[in-house]
A and B are shown apart, each in its own frame.
Chain A
């Protein structure tokens, strides 16, 4: 079931959480809402679920306007950052909750719950209480609970935010696979760009209640619509009006017209990747990402002079926010503000 949001506005007192937001989520896709905290991404997700009422604008699920429908009628599965486990119920009762409400027969509930517990690899824990589960297990239980009722869409609000890094990585992979199997339209909210790029096919980048850009991970990374997107989806150096990613800085020992003189301040080895921090003549700090081999070939030492050549610098006519319509337009070559230049100013 495809989801669209049209011209959504929502404020909490003076705070404008959503400012004329429109998004289009294709049927069966796995979409990430990505943005810093306070960007409105959670509010947008909650509005789709009916947990927030929009001040204006519409939410359509499968073409039907559900803006006036209460949450319980929207048939959405919702997963919360802090699990929202029914702590007075066992795992079995948690997962079967939606089915019991729908007055399923006991044997059917039992069969369905066990099917889901298998799917989320919690078989054998059916009689435990949530307090006896780890965070990762609780979140899988919450997911099974949401999926049990076969929702039209699955909405996840920072689902891995409360988990430690290792568990988070496992669950990401697992969510991607689950989505491939179940193929239910899924939207998940995250502030972690790596997580969004890892899991989602489509990303919607939000900032200050607006959609900055939407598209695939590659689109956002290679053709960011503006400075915000560019710096949010990856590391970035600023050189005057130009922006360049650390791996797009070529470091050479000989100067020419396209290079800039810089002094090596610090060399940090992060395993295979080497982070070399430079300071330019005007005091600007820049860092370049090199491989171990490149560093050895260059024989750089801290305090030495080297020359930098930015290969894919971008500039965005000033740093004006993008056309809000950019939100719903399909990803692709962006407007003229995105000009590639070959050398730093």
Chain B
């Protein structure tokens, strides 16, 4: 149908069967061109830069103690953050969909705030509350905890927004049917609700993970980039400042690889989670592109 709309009306009348092909071909060409300019070419340039001084150099750049510790730190922190997000994001989405409480629409509106805020503003907010002059007397600035808090803050909306629509569309009858068959509340959640949320949860986790891996601004200000809190993105920044562009590119490539592995695993989970929809041709293809864009931010 889309192809039809794009056609020349006069041509449609004479050769209605051939034109959709041209339309589709044109569409595909545009997509490939756009993706190339925006995604593939820069990626290729990055890869080229990272390997400009040979594989051995690449390897030595990503295995320096600094690089190893920065990569390990961001990986561990990101995993902790997505685990926290998976649980709390689901709870938040649950409350927003299933519960009725005063101020619900306000809460719903501020969920996106951490995402919408410039990360530098986010880190200022965090420093005000949890920094040296903390009104609650808790100072976690410049610590590894600060990394996790900052990442939790900026990735909060991903899981919530991915799970929310699935919860809204979920067929309540399924839960009632399970209850009538003898399933208690916990069983209903585990066997009925959770499997149906899994694809959305996986998508949200993937986006949050990709975002966390590359987060720069909020982590830099709040956690400081001290010896103990230098994550990969900050190290890349330092390398660029000190003129080691190939080193920066090499670490970037490793980050990119981590994100890709994550997306691949998530896609597998999604495929498994939506196996019952496969017969109808539904897929999880859209996620990969979206998440890759996110990663490049």
Contact = CB atoms under 8 A, between A and B. Distances in A.
A101 B187 CA distance: 8
A13 to B, nearest CB: 13
Contacts of A102: 182
Of the candidates A71, A75, A85, A102, the one having the most CB atoms from chain B within 10 angstroms of its own CB is A71
Interface in B156-171: 171
A269 interface: no
A86 B195 CA distance: 10
B279 A71 contact: no
B275 to A, nearest CB: 8
- Most chain-A CB neighbours within 10 Å: which of B173, B275, B279? B173
A130 interface: yes
B178 A70 contact: no
B179 interface: yes
A244 interface: no
A72 B179 contact: yes
Interface centre among B177, B179, B277, B280 (most CB of A within 10 A): B177
Contacts of B178: 86, 97
Point out which of B181, B183, B187, B196 has the most chain A C-beta atoms below 10 A from its C-beta.
B181
A129 B184 contact: no
Nearest to B172: A84
A86 B192 contact: yes
Contacts of B275: 129
B279 A80 contact: no
Interface stretch (A142-150, A292-300, A305-313): A142-150
B105 interface: no
A247 B239 CA distance: 95
B271 to A, nearest CB: 13
Contact of B181 (A83, A130, A149): A149
Contacts of A82: 171, 173
A328 to B, nearest CB: 26
B196 A88 contact: yes
A131 interface: yes
Contacts of B183: 72, 97, 101
B293 interface: no
B177 A142 contact: yes
B279 A131 contact: yes
A101 B177 CA distance: 13
Nearest to A46: B176
B187 to A, nearest CB: 6
A78 B172 CA distance: 14
A51 interface: yes
A88 B181 contact: no
B174 interface: yes
A341 to B, nearest CB: 48
B196 A51 contact: no
Contact of A72 (B184, B191, B196, B280): B184
A146 B180 contact: yes
Given A72-B183, A101-B181, A87 B176 contact: no
B276 interface: yes
Interface string A125-151: 000011110000000001001100100
A80 to B, nearest CB: 5
A145 B177 contact: yes
Q: How large is the interface on B (under 10, 10 to 19, 20 to 34, 35 or more residues)?
A: 20 to 34
Contacts of B176: 51, 71, 78, 80, 84
Nearest to A73: B182
Given A88-B276, A131-B280, A71 B173 contact: no
A77 interface: yes
B276 A145 contact: no
A101 B181 CA distance: 8
Interface in A141-188: 142, 145-146, 149
Given A82-B171, A82-B173, A101-B187, A87 B180 contact: no
B276 to A, nearest CB: 4
A85 B276 CA distance: 12
A204 interface: no
Contact of A49 (B180, B276, B277, B279): B180
A88 B275 CA distance: 8
A76 B177 CA distance: 10
Interface in A201-245: none
B180 A77 contact: yes
A98 interface: yes
A86 B182 contact: no
Contacts of A50: 180
A97 B181 contact: yes
Indicate the member of B173, B174, B178, B180 with the most A CB atoms within 10 Å.
Answer: B180
13 contacts: A51-B176, A70-B179, A77-B180, A78-B180, A84-B171, A84-B173, A85-B174, A86-B178, A87-B174, A97-B181, A97-B191, A142-B177, A149-B182
Given A71-B176, A145-B181, 18 more contacts: A49-B180, A71-B180, A72-B184, A73-B182, A75-B182, A78-B177, A80-B176, A82-B173, A84-B171, A84-B176, A86-B192, A88-B195, A88-B276, A90-B276, A129-B275, A129-B276, A131-B280, A146-B180
The 6 closest A-B CB pairs, nearest first, are A84-B173, A98-B181, A129-B276, A78-B180, A84-B177, A71-B179
